[in-house]
Structure 1
């Protein structure tokens, strides 16, 4: 097939996509450093398990609250200008967190509020970024572009936490927050240059350019278009089933990231460097998954892969409280990252292929809403459960829920939409 002959790096021949990809890679690295530093800072500021577990809630609640509006904005306005504004919001929030820590004004409330502000910038950036990919490269290169984006994210998930873990003890958290703010400067510059044009199509030096977006379609909010996106997503039976399934999966799986700082602090009795290594090992598992995914998909149906990944992640959550000998939690994190990447790419791939480009950003925003709402609620739930019954029971409960999801996924024989 023609799509299969496209090399992984071929989309980088398009100048605008290449510039945005490298800028986004830098921003991803800074975001992962920020995420790890903020989570460990929160664990250092308070003894409340609920407050620590609310870190993912602060990150994902904006996606739940604003994803529908963000999807409509991505379909209504120039995506370069939208990404420019949101990159500025994220940079300001990261810088504010750095200055709060340096001035000694950081508290659990301040960290959570500024994390929420960062999440707001991310919520309005995500649909625009995902939808822009298909308009910045040739049609046959969309799959390769998506894999490149996934590679950037996974490599950042490997390197960002590792760097944060290495630097947070000797330097403190503030320089890491500043590094995140600086990492967004390339995205600001690239989006500023893009925003000065009216073209949203492919800017390739070779190959046919896709037609520029109709300016009238990107001028203002349209309530009818907003309703159409929600209606289209919910009325499709297979898509509705995907939303429900994804909500249950992400509700359970967020227990790992929500409770991991508490596991490192209270069970392993280790410091921020160990937490960074744990998160970095999870990123390494995601990179390994990216390298194996194509071969695994050639051997197994998507439903089998999803069920296997869910079972593996569930087993990690069940066994993690028992793994107190230091190398073993790293191996568990590696397995969790491998399973997590398979879960995300399978579900996200189904969501992205369900509707045509004209509706893609809005219907993707419904998917993001379901996932983000489940993660925000799940993080708070597992934090409260930890305070009531402890980590040794809360994590296995989340793991058991994922095993149930694995059985149901296999039984229902979920297929790509």
Structure 2
């Protein structure tokens, strides 16, 4: 009887599971994407280790929420100032070559930070200067990497590849912070920076091993300003694209920057140290991975506009709950909800923008995505750091969550046709 039941289960569930797995992993049939996924995953674990270690190092050196806000500001400001220039480079140059250059530069930044920290010479000014250097690198790397995805998998698997990239990014977000918390507590921040520097070798190797067709001949070069202006006109004239970018701008400015005050919240309010910070960040990563896998299992892009709006409002509500919590384990649960809603919101927006972007504008449109997503973060960092120093971290998170929930909801109410159009045109 038990044997018969097991056989029936395998017959009924097994094929469905295999079909779901094939749907989930269909981008892995592309060799270049497999190489990229493995190399990027290793590198991103190091990146997340460094992100947590930098926050803890600044907090240890200064004990100041304002200092955390300033370092966050200089980290992301170059993306805001130079992001469109980076997107223009991505549309004019060989994207793989650009990515190799950015990864080498980021590796140098991590190793310099490791040397300063391990020798005891690190100051908040050195950390800020190196953070700004990494921001310049990211201004080129982010739009180039986003636009490069379609060259690895084609448009047919683009939706799945973006979701798998999100799952990889956020799986690293689980492992990296947890490892960073353990390493910082055991041997200090410098080892996190050193391991991050070494991890860049994996993604550099994966890029060099790819087999790509010869680069497409570029059209005659127009002035950089005109090249960028063409993308701005296109994005502004597309009502749906304009609504998506506005929502990203709002959420990045008031919501995503809550990471700036997270060390204060974990240490001063929840009563945990570096390990607690690592686990809270990892819990967000768990929710983010779940969201990315949910998107990867979708067969089509229809309905992403509605998902984007619901996720944005849900993120704001979860941020309010996190700010009100005084229990570490409850905060862990809220952190996973934050990660789930945030990645749904960002990944849905990324997919919709990519599907609406003409091939010759893709790098610059992805630069606008980077500018609204990451480039607004420096101003959000200043907002969060300054407000937290005045009214405390919990009140700052509650206010930011309320602004996000109400703002995304208001945008959806004023742009109902644009949201519907996004869903239909992306299918």
Confirm or deny a common fold (TM above 0.5). yes
TM-score, scaled relative to structure 2 = 0.86
The equivalent of 2:364 in structure 1 is 362
**What are the superposed Cα offsets for residues 201-250 of structure 1, whole Å, 9 maximum, x if unpaired?**
4xxxxxxxxxx432344989755433322222223233223222221121
C-alpha distance in 2 between matches for 1:232 and 1:141: 25
**Alpha carbons of 1:218 and 1:278: their partners in 2 closer, same or farther (altered >3 Å)?**
farther
Counterpart among 78, 81, 94 of residue 78 in structure 1: 94
The equivalent of 2:236 in structure 1 is 234
- Counterpart secondary structure, 2:255: helix
Which runs of structure 2 are paired with 1:3-402 in the superposition (5 Å)?
A: 7-192=23-208, 200-201=212-213, 212-217=214-219, 222-293=224-295, 301-402=303-404
Shift of 1:317: 2.4
**Alpha carbons of 1:45 and 1:356: their partners in 2 closer, same or farther (altered >3 Å)?**
same
Shift of 1:371: 2.5
CA contact (8 A) 1:309 1:342 kept: yes
The equivalent of 1:207 in structure 2 is none
- Counterpart secondary structure, 2:365: helix
TM-score, scaled relative to structure 1 = 0.88
- Counterpart secondary structure, 1:7: helix
CA contact (8 A) 2:167 2:293 kept: no
| Bigger mean CA deviation after superposition, 217-226 or 277-286 | 217-226
Q: Any gaps of 5 or more consecutive residues in structure 1?
A: 202-211
**What are the superposed Cα offsets for residues 277-307 of structure 1, whole Å, 9 maximum, x if unpaired?**
0000000010121233467898994444333
Paired residues, what number? 400
C-alpha distance in 2 between matches for 1:316 and 1:218: 49
**Alpha carbons of 1:281 and 1:297: their partners in 2 closer, same or farther (altered >3 Å)?**
farther
**What are the superposed Cα offsets for residues 24-47 of structure 1, whole Å, 9 maximum, x if unpaired?**
111111111110111111111112
| Bigger mean CA deviation after superposition, 51-60 or 270-279 | 51-60
C-alpha distance in 2 between matches for 1:248 and 1:216: 35
Q: Any gaps of 5 or more consecutive residues in structure 2?
A: 1-19
CA contact (8 A) 2:24 2:296 kept: no
**Alpha carbons of 1:11 and 1:320: their partners in 2 closer, same or farther (altered >3 Å)?**
closer
**What are the superposed Cα offsets for residues 101-155 of structure 1, whole Å, 9 maximum, x if unpaired?**
1111111221122122222222211211111111122442222222221221111
RMSD: 2.6
- Counterpart secondary structure, 2:23: coil
The equivalent of 1:206 in structure 2 is none
C-alpha distance in 2 between matches for 1:300 and 1:239: 16
- Counterpart secondary structure, 1:140: coil
